[in-house]
Amino acid sequence: MTVYGTVTAVLNLMLSILLAKIYGITGVIAATVIAFAVANYLPTFLEVRSVLRKCIADK
């Protein structure tokens, strides 16, 4: 969980700086949403894919 939190924070900071220059406060909000989605859904997707592959291999 610490790794995911760190990744989320770093990604959020980088995206916030980039998008704030272009879109202002809306860019900061978008950066937060993007960072949260990437840091939460990507590991879940990879884990589900791994479990499904194991299930298929066991058959």
CB 29 within 8 A of CB 38: no
For residues 47 and 28, give the distance between their C-alpha atoms in angstroms, rounded to a whole number: 29
Residue 12: other Cβ atoms inside 10 A: 19
Tens of pLDDT along the chain (59 residues)?
688 889 899 999 999 999 999 999 999 999 999 999 988 888 888 889 999 999 988 87
Q: What are phi and psi of 55, to 5 degrees?
A: -65, -40
Q: How many domains does the chain have?
A: 1
Q: What is the pLDDT of residue 20?
A: 96
For residues 49 and 42, give the distance between their C-alpha atoms in angstroms, rounded to a whole number: 11
Q: Which structural domain range is residue 8 located in?
A: 2-58
CB 27 within 8 A of CB 3: no
